[in-house]
């Protein structure tokens, strides 16, 4: 199954379109459109009140930044595998529960992870009164 970036439509192995919110910065690894590496690498002051703070990069600065990205190597799109943290099911169907319910039944080390519905239901069976009630 060919994966595509949900934001820019890049296929796996292709570069994202510039401005895509999924592309990672090759310098810091964070979201390219929101990290400050372009300003740091170009030595530009972006403190409140500066031109760059109000307007971003000038054309010549953007050209220099794009050259830096090209030299470092932009990170192509690859779909990461999403796994249930408990059973390892690939790309489990997503579902929602209220935060309070999730925190009540799911043990802390799994609370910030993805669980498939069957594993979540297992947590509820294991801890019918919540995991804190286990003595």
Burial 57-74 (b: 16+ CB within 10 A, else e): beeebeeebeeebeeeeb
Q: Mean pLDDT, to the nearest integer, of 31-48?
A: 95
Q: What is the pLDDT of residue 2?
A: 76
Mean pLDDT of the chain: 95
Backbone angles phi, psi at 37, to 5 degrees: -60, -35
Q: What is the per-residue pLDDT across 17-32, written as a single tens digit (0 to 9) for each?
A: 999 999 999 999 999 9
1 has a pLDDT exceeding 70: no
Q: Mean pLDDT, to the nearest integer, of 8-15?
A: 95
Q: What is the per-residue pLDDT across 79-130, written as a single tens digit (0 to 9) for each?
A: 989 999 999 999 999 999 999 999 999 999 999 999 999 999 999 999 999 9
């Amino acid at each position: 199954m060919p994966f595509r970036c949900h934001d820019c439509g890049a296929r796996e192995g292709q570069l994202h379109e510039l401005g895509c919110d999924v592309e990672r910065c090759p310098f810091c690894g964070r979201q390219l459109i929101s990290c400050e590496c372009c300003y740091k690498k170009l030595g530009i002051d972006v403190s409140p009140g500066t031109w760059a703070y109000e307007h971003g990069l000038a054309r010549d600065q953007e050209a220099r930044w794009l050259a830096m990205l090209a030299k470092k190597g932009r990170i192509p799109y690859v779909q990461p595998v999403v796994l249930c943290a408990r059973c390892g099911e690939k790309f489990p169907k997503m579902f929602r529960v209220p935060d309070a319910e999730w925190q009540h039944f799911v043990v802390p080390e799994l609370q910030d992870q993805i669980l498939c519905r069957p594993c979540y239901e297992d947590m509820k069976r294991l801890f019918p009164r919540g995991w804190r009630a286990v003595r």
